[in-house]
Amino acid sequence: MNEPILSVKDLNLKFSLRGQTLHALRDVCLDVYKGESLAIVGESGSGKSVLTKCFLGLNDANGYIESGSILYEGMDLAAFKKESEWLKIRGREIAMVMQDPMTSLNPLRTIGAQILESINLHQKNLTPAQAKTKMLDMLDQVGIYDPEKRAKQYPHEFSGGMRQRVVIAIALACKPKILICDEPTTALDVTIQAQILKLIKTLVKESGITAIYITHDLGVVANVSTRIAVMYAGDIVEIGTSEEIFYDPRHPYTWALLSSLPQLGVKGEKLYSIAGTQANLFARVEGDAFAPRNPYALKMDYVKRPPYFELSPTHKARTWLLDARAPKVEPPEIIRKLSRREVDLNG
């Protein structure tokens, strides 16, 4: 892999809420490499959206970065204070596709005008005619037929999948270096979801953009991502290439996420579900945040927070189970089945 385009180091982010502090990101370290497709996976409330919003300065005003740095092309995004600084990054360098295409477009303006807005804002040297050609070109790229006619239409004349295509066109119009897709397909049907994922995948490949996907559904990312980071309670608990995460997961939380997928369930049997509720991030977390819900938890997990154990140059996990002193634990049956499948495919 080549050099990192974005590098997050020991990032701590807190929200102050009614006199209490919520520790939303706890010492997050993450390198995003140029041209890769990284997926960030976790339950709602795990901090995956908060983390990516840090890259764009989009977190609510009550959130503040306590310590750590986000390095992007020699700049420390964590130190940005003024809106004018962010405007240089937002859209131009890093763009975002939001979850719900129903709410992220302005219902009172035509599709064409909304794409033009972002082109004009970021590429001021274009003449109006050039900008329009570019806009029609973008619509064509995202697979919208008859762009001339469609550009004059309003969002309500588009279906959900088509609207998401428009949102992608807006995000890509100013040629960003990084594209963040925050649950790009959760609000869409399965068939449309497959089409949109395929579209993003090809566009990203063609233009050499770095993509970051955020999702709670591991099934969705198998197709699109080259690397996967699993987040729990404001921390990345396991990170590796998608083969490593799907065929050789090591963290019990990754096991739990994979086991709860209905695709892998056996009919008539109970589907695995993660017991208990998420860690309370208002309180100080002692040890491993996942320990109370973890059937494989060791005594050590309640005392000291596990460090990262490196399994390969690309794969590391934060769990005491990987320590040399820990008892040997076999992953659940459903996970072993997945890894066997890899053997079948290779051999």
Partner 1 sequence: MAEPLLSVKNLSVVFGKRRHPFVAVNDVSFDIYRGETFGLVGESGSGKTTIGRAIIRVVPTAAGEIIFDGKQINNKISKALDKEVTHRIQMIFQDPMASLNERAKVDYIVSEGVYHRYKKPEREQKVEQALRDVGLLPEFASRFPHEFSGGQRQRIGIARALIMEPDFIVADEPISALDVSIRAQVLNLMSELQKQRGLTYLFISHDLSVMRFICDRIAVIHKGVIVELSDTETLFKHPLHPYTRALLSAVPMPDPISEREKVLEVYDPGQHDYASPENKPRFVEIEPGHFIHGNTSELKKYAKMLGKDA
Compute how many residues bind partner 1; rule: CB under 8 A: 42
Stretch that binds partner 1, among 24-32, 122-130, 211-219, 282-290 (CB under 8 A): 211-219
Among 113, 121, 131, 194, binds partner 1 (CB under 8 A): 194
Which one, of 239, 185, 245, lies nearest residue 214 by Cα? 185
Find the binder of partner 1 among 60, 125, 273, 347 (CB under 8 A).
273
* Nearest distance from C-beta of residue 19 to partner 1, angstroms: 19
Segment interacting with partner 1 (CB under 8 A) among 113-121, 129-137, 238-246, 296-304: 238-246
User: Does 254 sit near partner 1 (CB under 8 A)?
Assistant: no
Q: Where are the beta strands (DSSP E) in the chain?
A: 4-17, 20-33, 37-41, 63-72, 75-76, 94-97, 178-182, 210-215, 227-232, 235-241, 309-312, 315-317
Residue 286 lies near partner 1 (rule: CB under 8 A): no
Interface residue with partner 1, options 72, 246, 290, 320 (CB under 8 A): 246
22 scored as a contact of partner 1 (CB under 8 A)? no
Q: Which of 264, 285, 300, 329 binds partner 1 (CB under 8 A)?
A: 264
Of 293, 292, 290, 328, give the one whose Cα is nearest residue 306: 290
Q: Which stretch binds partner 1 (CB under 8 A): 100-108, 112-120, 164-172, 268-276?
A: 268-276
Q: Is 262 in the site for partner 1 (CB under 8 A)?
A: yes
Amino acid symbol at 16: S
Cα–Cα distance between 24 and 181 in angstroms, integer? 20
φ and ψ at 79, to 5 degrees?
A: -90, -5
Q: At residue 165, what are phi and psi to the nearest 5 degrees?
A: -60, -40
CB-nearer residue toward partner 1: 126 or 261: 261
- Residues in 23-52 that interact with partner 1 by CB under 8 A: 43-44
> How is residue 220 written in tokens?
């969705």
**Near partner 1 by CB under 8 A: residue from 129, 191, 299, 330:** 191
Q: Is 210 in the site for partner 1 (CB under 8 A)?
A: no
Does residue 218 bind partner 1 (CB under 8 A)?
yes
Least distance to partner 1 from the beta carbon of 186, Å? 9
The whole-angstrom distance between residue 73's C-alpha and the CA centroid of its chain comes to 21
Q: Which residues have a Cβ under 8 Å from the Cβ of 66 and sit 6 or more positions away?
A: 12, 13, 14
Residue 198's alpha-carbon distances to 105, 202, 217, in angstroms, are 22, 6, 16
| Contact status: 217 vs partner 1 (CB under 8 A) | yes
Q: Is 347 a binder of partner 1 (CB under 8 A)?
A: no
In the complex with partner 1, the residue whose CB is nearer, 54 or 245, is 245
Does 195 sit near partner 1 (CB under 8 A)?
A: yes
Q: What is the CA radius of gyration of the chain?
A: 21
User: 217-254: buried (b, 16+ CB within 10 Å) or exposed (e) per residue?
Assistant: ebebbeebbbbbbbbbbbbbbbbbbbebbbbbbbbbbb
Measured between alpha carbons, how far is 99 from 185 in angstroms, rounded to an integer?
7
Out of 69, 243, 285, 305, the only residue in the binding site for partner 1 (CB under 8 A) is 243
Token readout for 284 is: 């100080």
Q: Return the residue of 66, 76, 148, 342 that touches partner 1, per CB under 8 A.
A: 342
Residues that bind partner 1 in the complex, under the rule CB under 8 A = 43-44, 160, 189-195, 197-198, 216-220, 222-223, 242-243, 246, 256-258, 260-265, 267, 270-274, 277, 338, 341-342, 345
